[in-house]
């Protein structure tokens, strides 16, 4: 039988089946699922081949089953070719208006660039203010910001790219709250926030957010006495961090954990990793502030490792470099500034040096 001689309903049956990527045995299974009393699959498959080849026309029962299997009207499949129903587009299984409305919904969004910028800017401001303000009020502000952001993610509607950015910002915000909670002695809360930060970062699938979450987890583990875990988490963050000063900081967190464990070789290796990371910085810090690592902060961590290694000369050199960075205008954190002076005093007492530190 030539193609023009094949009945239009036979052509439509084959077209609809192939549009769903069903082979003939699958078509038979679909029909038999609707009516389990039908013949076996092999027998149905032979019948389907004859129907699609135009050798026979399905009976009324099979026509109704076909319409149910394809989710379309009986008339569209089996009406004569000249009828309006037969002229309908054979591959359409959903009204065009319904599809168009869903497309419009998917394209719409409940947030805009200004909203995304607001959350990112607010987080950056908190991270910078943390360097010189008390943690408690900043943690309270961050909690309010987080509630708004979580509500937006749970109840709002955003495009996928916007939702990813919101997840990343939420991850960074949780990392900030974990850090602040830890500084306030709330280790349980810090752990919960850091863990949530990593969950959100994984959803966003943005390396910088993941590194920030691991940084917060490492810090929490360190102050909870889990130095081995702190070192491991810091190394994981280092491996996924982009080339900004956060990568430097993560290496120094690893060094701090190892020096606390009195593993000087690994601590010194991590210090060298921090130095190499400093030399390969290619991007700005986000959000910066608390999570940035300038030369002064690096010097503070480095001198602690050198003191543990009983290398007072290198420790004092790191301290002098750190204080010089502050004199040259590097953003100052009161905690880091105090720690540098405490470590310098420690080193001077050990060596008996009377040298005066750089005035800051």
Encode burial over 177-207: b for 16+ CB neighbours within 10 A, e otherwise. bbbbbbbeebbebbbbbbbbbbebbebbebe
Q: Using an 8 Å Cβ cutoff, are 19 and 53 in contact?
A: no
Per-residue pLDDT band for 190 (boundaries 50, 70, 90) equals: very high
**Would you state the pLDDT for residue 87?**
44
Q: For every residue of 69-127, which 3-state class applies, written as one string?
A: HHCCCHHHHHCCCCCHHHHCCCCCCCCHHHHHHHHHHHHCCCCCHHHHHHHHHHHHHHH
- The arithmetic mean of pLDDT across residues 60-74, rounded, is 85
Examine the pLDDT at 161 and tell me if it is beyond 70: yes
Examine the pLDDT at 144 and tell me if it is beyond 60: yes
Listed in order, strand segments (DSSP E) in the chain are: none
Mean pLDDT of the chain: 85
Of 39-43, 93-97, 103-107, 123-127, the poorest mean pLDDT is in 93-97
Examine the pLDDT at 321 and tell me if it is beyond 60: yes
Examine the pLDDT at 247 and tell me if it is beyond 90: yes
Examine the pLDDT at 330 and tell me if it is beyond 90: no
Q: Using an 8 Å Cβ cutoff, are 327 and 360 in contact?
A: yes
- The arithmetic mean of pLDDT across residues 159-184, rounded, is 93
Please compute, for residue 168, the number of CA atoms within 13 A of its CA located in the half-sphere on the CB side.
Answer: 19
**Would you state the pLDDT for residue 16?**
87
**Would you state the pLDDT for residue 85?**
45
Separation of CA 347 from chain center: 42
DSSP annotation of 355? P
Q: Domain 107-293: which topology?
A: 1.25.40
The beta-carbon contacts of 314-318 under 8 Å, at least 24 apart in sequence, are 315/343, 315/347, 316/344, 316/347, 316/348, 316/351, 316/353, 316/355
- The arithmetic mean of pLDDT across residues 307-327, rounded, is 85
CA nearest neighbour of 243 among 291, 279, 209:
279
Q: How far apart are CA 140 and CA 130, in angstroms?
A: 12
The CA distances from residue 180 to 126, 148, 213, 342, in Å, are 11, 19, 13, 22
**Would you state the pLDDT for residue 73?**
77
Q: How far apart are CA 333 and CA 337, in angstroms?
A: 6
DSSP annotation of 316? H
User: Counting beta carbons within 10 angstroms of the beta carbon of residue 156, is it exposed (0 to 12), middle (13 to 18) or buried (19 or more)?
Assistant: middle
Of 48-52, 174-178, 294-298, 323-327, the poorest mean pLDDT is in 323-327
Q: How far apart are CA 283 and CA 26, in angstroms?
A: 54
Domain boundaries, the chain: 3-93, 107-293
Per-residue pLDDT band for 258 (boundaries 50, 70, 90) equals: very high
Q: Using an 8 Å Cβ cutoff, are 203 and 220 in contact?
A: no
User: The domain at 3-93 falls in which architecture?
Assistant: Orthogonal Bundle (1.10)
Examine the pLDDT at 357 and tell me if it is beyond 80: no
**Would you state the pLDDT for residue 93?**
52
Of 128-142, 199-213, 332-346, the poorest mean pLDDT is in 332-346
Q: Using an 8 Å Cβ cutoff, are 142 and 184 in contact?
A: no
- The arithmetic mean of pLDDT across residues 180-192, rounded, is 93
Q: How far apart are CA 319 and CA 315, in angstroms?
A: 6
Examine the pLDDT at 102 and tell me if it is beyond 70: no
**Would you state the pLDDT for residue 83?**
47
Choice between 171 and 283, residue whose per-residue pLDDT is larger? 171
The proportion of the chain whose per-residue pLDDT surpasses 90, expressed as a percent, equals 43
Examine the pLDDT at 63 and tell me if it is beyond 80: yes
Residue whose token pair is 């949780």: 174
Identical fold between 3-93 and 107-293: no
Q: How far apart are CA 327 and CA 73, in angstroms?
A: 80
């Amino acid at each position: 039988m030539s193609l023009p001689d094949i009945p239009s309903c036979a052509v439509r049956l084959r077209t609809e089946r192939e549009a769903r990527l069903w082979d003939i045995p699958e078509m038979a299974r679909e029909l038999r699922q609707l009516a389990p009393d039908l013949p076996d699959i092999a027998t149905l498959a032979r019948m389907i081949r004859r129907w699609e080849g135009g050798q026979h026309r399905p009976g009324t029962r099979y026509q109704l089953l076909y319409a149910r299997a394809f989710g379309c009207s009986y008339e569209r499949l089996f009406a004569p070719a000249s009828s309006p129903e037969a002229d309908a587009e054979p591959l359409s299984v959903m009204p065009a208006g319904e599809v168009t409305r869903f497309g419009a919904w998917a394209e719409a969004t409940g947030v805009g660039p200004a909203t995304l910028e607001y959350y990112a800017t607010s987080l950056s401001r908190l991270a910078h203010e943390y360097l010189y303000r008390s943690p408690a009020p900043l943690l309270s502000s961050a909690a309010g910001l987080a509630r708004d952001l979580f509500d937006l993610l749970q109840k709002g509607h955003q495009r996928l790219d916007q939702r990813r950015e919101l997840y990343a910002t939420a991850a960074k915000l949780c990392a900030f709250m974990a850090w602040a909670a830890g500084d306030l002695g709330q280790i349980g809360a810090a752990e919960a926030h850091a863990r949530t930060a990593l969950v959100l970062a994984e959803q966003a699938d943005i390396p910088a957010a993941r590194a920030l979450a691991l940084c917060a987890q490492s810090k929490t583990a360190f102050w909870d006495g889990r130095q081995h875990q702190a070192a491991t988490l810091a190394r994981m963050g280092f491996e996924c961090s982009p080339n900004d000063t956060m990568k430097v900081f993560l290496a120094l967190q690893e060094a701090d954990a190892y020096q606390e464990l009195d593993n000087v070789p690994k601590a010194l290796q991590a210090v060298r990793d921090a130095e190499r990371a400093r030399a390969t910085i290619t991007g700005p810090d986000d959000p910066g502030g608390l999570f940035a690592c300038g030369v002064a902060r690096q010097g503070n961590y480095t001198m602690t490792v050198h003191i543990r290694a009983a290398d007072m000369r290198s420790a004092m050199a790191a301290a002098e470099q750190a204080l010089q960075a502050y004199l040259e205008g590097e953003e100052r954190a009161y905690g880091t500034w105090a720690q540098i002076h405490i470590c310098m005093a420690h080193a001077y007492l050990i060596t008996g040096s009377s040298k005066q530190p750089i005035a800051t």
